[in-house]
Amino acid sequence: MATIEGPLSKWTNVMKGWQYRWFVLDENTGLLSYYTSKEKMMRGSRRGCVRLKGAIIGIDDEDDSTFTITVDQKTFHFQARDAEERERWIGGLEEAILRHTQPLSKQRESKHIPSTAEFDSKVAETDAYLQLLIDQTKALDEKIEQCDDPAAREKYSVIKVAAETMIESIKQSIVLLQMSKQQIADQAMVENGPLTPPLQAAAGSIASTTELPPIGPMPNSMATSNGIDVPPHNTTTSHSLPASSGGLEENGISPAVDALLEEEGGDMEQDGSVGAQSHMMSAYSNSDMHVPPRVMPMTSYSSSEDEEFYDAEELERSATEDEPPKAEPVQVIASKDDYFDELYDEVDQEDLGSLEGQGSIVTHLLSQVRIGMDLTKIVLPTFILERRSLLEMFADFFAHPDLFVGIVDFKDPKERMIQVVRWYLSAFHAGRRSDIAKKPYNPIIGETFQCFWDIPNMEPSDEVSDSGPVPWVHKNNLAFIAEQVSHHPPISAFYAEHSGKRISLDGYIWTKSKFLGLSIGVYMIGQAVISVLDHDEEYVLTFPTGYGRSILTVPWIELGGKVGVQCAKTGYYANIEFKTKPFYGGKKHQVAAAIFAPNDKKPICTIDGEWNGVMWAQYNTGRSEKFVDTKSMPIIKKKVKPRTEQGEFESRRLWQDVTKHLKEKNVDKATEFKRKLEQRQREEAKERLEKGLKWETKHFHEQGEHWLHHRPLLKRLQETVTRKSRQNSPEGDSEYDSAS
């Protein structure tokens, strides 16, 4: 499709709102032009344009109708009527951007650029067929006059009308092609003087970028592709048309086209003047054909610059609320006997400058993907990686383990639900270790991560929970284990429990990444189930979507989407919404939650604030309180075994070479070791496929659409009760002994 046109709304800063505009996308010129109305477009009164060469399209996944175009250090915001219309525009825009952003060498490889001789030959051939069509139409007219059958006369007349319409279209096309060729010659004449051979070549280069033929000397003779010899024509006027089979007039224009010129205006001079060309453009202003601008604009522009776009550089300099939030020092509590891992526990200050210096690499990566593309199989540059595995990042959900285990301390189901929500809203901020959003390692299949936490103000226990998920952990510790259970799709399962408090969490997340232009969306598909055994309650919760914003400069993270927490037994539930920042006003990192009692339409508690800052609660009793303050709450440091004592597939040992070289800023070496791990995974998968083997997970199994831990706390307690029951029964005792 060469041209797309239609209405869109465009954001303006002065009015602080959307304004209707009529847009025309010309893929040949790589311009998105806009007008205040369709009528203004027909008259050629353009309001502004967006030059698409090097442009980047962005969408907001929380909104199915808006999109942005960032180019020439400006960001334009648009709104379609619905998702289907947005997809239509984005599809056309992506084609135009790819076509005009591609290096010229690649364009030449992928698409033949016609020479002057080829262009003139094609025009001559077209003119020859035009004259044949005119002759056949005249013959048809004579046949109609001689036909006595009214029905046959009507059929012939229909054919004649169609032929005459085609003739007019061909005439217009020939004239417009020659006009476009002359426009390039005129422009080159104005800028550089008379065309010398080198300038003729340069004009040819200009023509190739606008899908027009190069300028060159007219050949003395040429032949059409069907073998029709075309006599030599006048070379004194560079815009002369080649002859048709019907011969040439003295001025070098065929009779068919000459007739058209007389119809459209006898005062149209044949010297290629701007006035003549403007007259011809005006003659076709009411047709469906969009004539490309005579000169390609050097940059995107608007007739009212201040109100038509956001200036990306100005926003970055002046709007401090749009900058990544500066991380304040967070208190981390660690035990005296805690093992310190210099590769993973030490958080370095990120170098913003070095990250911005990788912009060309990111831009190259973006040229390989399309809006909405799944990034699961896309290899991202190593320099954007965070120095830890995704499995370890999931462990940070429990950075405040006292809030989690504290759920069981409340006697009232309402208070337990409130505490579940309190822990949930505190669970996301610790996963971000710096101001910059970076991507953790994609775990390889079979990879595991194990750790545990001491609980503040809880007496330590000497009793080891040897049957639990982490065998060396004591009963008064919160234990955590995660495993990558699937590679395609990438699914991580994780389990946490505090056996002393008789509470556990069983969860899984399928991470699905999606390219959104200037952002990347990471969908966390899955759920977690909190089991409070003493009350026989289960709380089912889901996860928000993560967004990496501003990926061309300094990326930052935000969360978005609606999630929920439900307890089927008590009927209490909570609706939570993580709000993404709108481009026109609003704040970052906002979250709002409402907790409901069974069968109630009004919430018993509402919460709002920043999920990585302070959140406030308002109760239906009129009481209010600071609900969570992530700025002042200390993070409890997780405890991990030294890498030398870990298994081969435990995260920190598995990725230690990649982490070491990233820490030393040796990206090439880090990439080398990363590729080795990925290649080993591919080879093992290929071997399993050839042998017909299925991957066997270590700690989790699939049950329906969910992933569950093999031996959760409830199952182990039930086994203990059954075993003791058998031991206390004489009949059961003998059966137990024989079974042993």
- At 78-119, the pLDDT tens digits run 999 888 899 899 889 988 888 887 655 455 554 556 677 777
pLDDT digits (tens, 9 = 90+) for 215-251: 333 333 333 333 333 333 333 333 333 333 333 333 3
512: part of which helix (H) or strand (E)? Answer: strand 503-515
Instruction: Please tell me what DSSP assigns to residue 536.
Output: T
386, 438 contact by CB (below 8 A): yes
Helix orientation angle between 255-264 and 116-146, rounded to the nearest 10 degrees = 80
| pLDDT exceeds 90 at position 727 | no
pLDDT digits (tens, 9 = 90+) for 134-188: 888 888 888 888 888 888 887 888 888 888 888 888 887 887 777 777 766 666 5
Q: What is the mean pLDDT of the chain?
A: 76
* Helices assigned H by DSSP within 527-655: 651-654
pLDDT digits (tens, 9 = 90+) for 342-392: 777 766 555 444 445 555 555 655 666 677 776 666 666 665 678 889 999
Residues belonging to the chain? 740
CB atoms within 10 A of CB 575: 15
495 or 20: which carries more pLDDT confidence?
495
Separation CA 424–CA 125 (nearest Å): 73
Residue 584 structure tokens? 């026109």
Average pLDDT over residues 549-577: 89
Q: Which residues pair with 33 in a beta bridge?
A: 24, 49
291, 196 contact by CB (below 8 A): no
In percent, the amount of the chain with pLDDT more than 90 equals: 32
Instruction: Please tell me what DSSP assigns to residue 571.
Output: -
Separation CA 656–CA 647 (nearest Å): 12
| pLDDT exceeds 90 at position 43 | no
Residue 307: pLDDT band with limits 50, 70, 90: very low
SS3 letters for 380-393? Answer: CCHHHEEEEEHHHH
Separation CA 273–CA 239 (nearest Å): 10
Strand residue runs (E) in 408-471: 439-441, 448-454
Separation CA 295–CA 297 (nearest Å): 6
Compute, in degrees rounded to 10, the torsion defined by CA atoms 19, 21, 25, 26.
-140
Separation CA 69–CA 364 (nearest Å): 17
Separation CA 638–CA 3 (nearest Å): 58
Instruction: Please tell me what DSSP assigns to residue 500.
Output: T
Average pLDDT over residues 497-509: 95
List of residues 6+ apart from 694 with CB closer than 8 A: 688
Report cis status (omega within 30 of 0) of the bond before 634.
no
| pLDDT exceeds 90 at position 423 | yes
Residue 640 Rama label (left phi>0; alpha psi -120 to 50; beta): beta
| Pairing of β 439-441 and β 385-389 | parallel
CB atoms within 10 A of CB 647: 11
List of residues 6+ apart from 296 with CB closer than 8 A: 29, 31, 51, 209, 210
Average pLDDT over residues 423-452: 86
Write phi, then psi, for 301 (nearest 5 degrees). -150, 165
- Which residue carries 């077209």 as its tokens? 126
Residue 537: pLDDT band with limits 50, 70, 90: very high
Separation CA 207–CA 230 (nearest Å): 25
Average pLDDT over residues 579-588: 81
Give the chain's radius of gyration (CA, Å). 36
Separation CA 27–CA 472 (nearest Å): 65
> How far does Cα 341 stand from its chain's mean position?
36
Q: Which residues pair with 626 in a beta bridge?
A: 616
In this structure, which amino acid lies at residue 719? E
Residue 133: pLDDT band with limits 50, 70, 90: confident
Q: If we measure between CA atoms, which residue out of 589, 547, 543 comes closest to residue 563?
A: 543
SS3 565: strand
Residue 692 structure tokens? 């017909």
Separation CA 277–CA 290 (nearest Å): 15
- Which residue carries 């989407």 as its tokens? 561
452, 464 contact by CB (below 8 A): no
Residue 740 structure tokens? 């042993």
192 or 409: which carries more pLDDT confidence?
409
pLDDT digits (tens, 9 = 90+) for 393-419: 999 999 999 999 999 999 999 999 999
CB atoms within 10 A of CB 610: 17
**Domains of the chain with bracketed CATH:** 5-101 (2.30.29.30), 380-702+708-716 (2.40.160.120)
Instruction: Please tell me what DSSP assigns to residue 535.
Output: G
- Which residue carries 């650029």 as its tokens? 113
Task: Give residue 294's pLDDT.
Answer: 43
CB atoms within 10 A of CB 467: 12
Task: Give residue 377's pLDDT.
Answer: 60
Residue 19: pLDDT band with limits 50, 70, 90: confident
In percent, the amount of the chain with pLDDT more than 70 equals: 67
Task: Give residue 193's pLDDT.
Answer: 54
Residue 512 structure tokens? 């699905």
CA distances in angstroms from 343 to 48, 370, 456, 543, 652, listed in the order given: 53, 36, 26, 29, 9
222, 230 contact by CB (below 8 A): yes
* Helices assigned H by DSSP within 469-550: none
498, 478 contact by CB (below 8 A): yes
